[in-house]
Structure 1
Amino acid sequence: MDIQITANIRNELLLRNEVEFTLTFDGATPSRKEIIGKLGALLDANEEKMALDSIKTHYGSRVGKGLARIYDTPEARARTEREYLVARGQPKAEAEE
């Protein structure tokens, strides 16, 4: 999996960087957790401060375009990010019996 940053725009009002990237991969589309981990390592950012918005791939293609947001603090992410986007890619809690 290879990630190239195509745009990195600073949004001071919401205390975040808005990152557009191109993803090249072999096989199946990587999971959101893998993409966040690789993007965090590439940009030296903590996963608690990141939110992966979208990944778009064309049928049969090994290239995708994505959008992620990297916040200054986890509190800033919690304040502005939609809960379902934060919950995506997280391990599911085991059902209590």
Structure 2
Amino acid sequence: MDIKIIKEKNNALLNRRELNLDIGFDGATPSRSELKAKVAAMLNVAQELVIIQKMEKQFGKQAVSAYVKIYENADRMKQVEAKYVIERNAMPEPEVEEEAEEAAEEEGAAEETEAEEAPAE
């Protein structure tokens, strides 16, 4: 993924930086979370403070135009941004851990039923 900063503006009133980006990519269009991680790493900021406001795929090209906001702190972000925008940009929870916990619970339940069904000696 190749990211170019087209325009950068410092918005002191809202304690954020606003960026217009052009992103070139190979294969499938990058997800919001992939783009968020890449921008955060590139600009050395926390992923939680990056908001991807808009992503527009360019017709016939392997490119996306994006409008990104980077806040100085999470409190200001919660004051300024709409709730749905914050939810849209929330980092997905790891599903692997949940599946492992469910499997462990099922195994524990199976062992308990086997112990109950075993005849007492």
TM-score computed with the length of structure 1 as normaliser: 0.88
Q: 1:38 maps to what in 2?
A: 38
1:82 maps to what in 2? 82
In structure 2, what is the Cα distance between the partners aligned to 1:51 and 1:33?
Answer: 10
Paired with 1:55 and 1:87, the residues of 2 have a C-alpha distance of 16
Unaligned runs of 5+ in 2: 96-121
Q: State the number of aligned residues.
A: 94
Asked whether the equivalents of residues 50 and 77 of structure 1 are also in contact (C-alpha less than 8 Å), the reply is: no
AA of the residue aligned to 1:63 = A
Where does structure 1 lack aligned partners over 5 or more consecutive residues?
Answer: none
Partner of 1:69: 69
Q: 8 Å contact 2:21–2:66 — kept in the other structure?
A: yes
Confirm whether residue 50 of structure 1 aligns to residue 44 of structure 2. Answer: no
Greater gyration radius: 2
What code does the residue aligned with 1:60 have?
Answer: G
Q: Residues 14-69 of structure 1: CA distance to partner in whole angstroms, max 9, x if unpaired?
A: 00000111000111110100000000011111111111001111233201110000
Higher relative contact order (CA closer than 8 Å, sequence separation 6+): 1
Structure in which a larger fraction of residues adopt helix: 2
Contact 1:51 1:70 in 2 (8 A): yes
Q: How does 1:10-49 map to 2 (within 5 A)?
A: 10-49=10-49
Alignment root-mean-square deviation, CA: 1.8
Q: How far, CA to CA, are the matches of 1:58 and 1:70 in structure 2?
A: 23
Identity of aligned residues (%): 32
Q: Per the alignment, in what secondary structure is the counterpart of residue 10 of structure 1? A: strand
Distance 2:10 2:58 in 1: 28
Amino acid at match of 1:18: E
- Matched-pair contact (CA < 8 Å) for 1:18–1:68: yes
The structural deviation recorded for 1:89 is 4.5
Question: Matched residues in 2 for 1:89 and 1:9: separation?
Answer: 21
SS in 2 for 1:39: helix
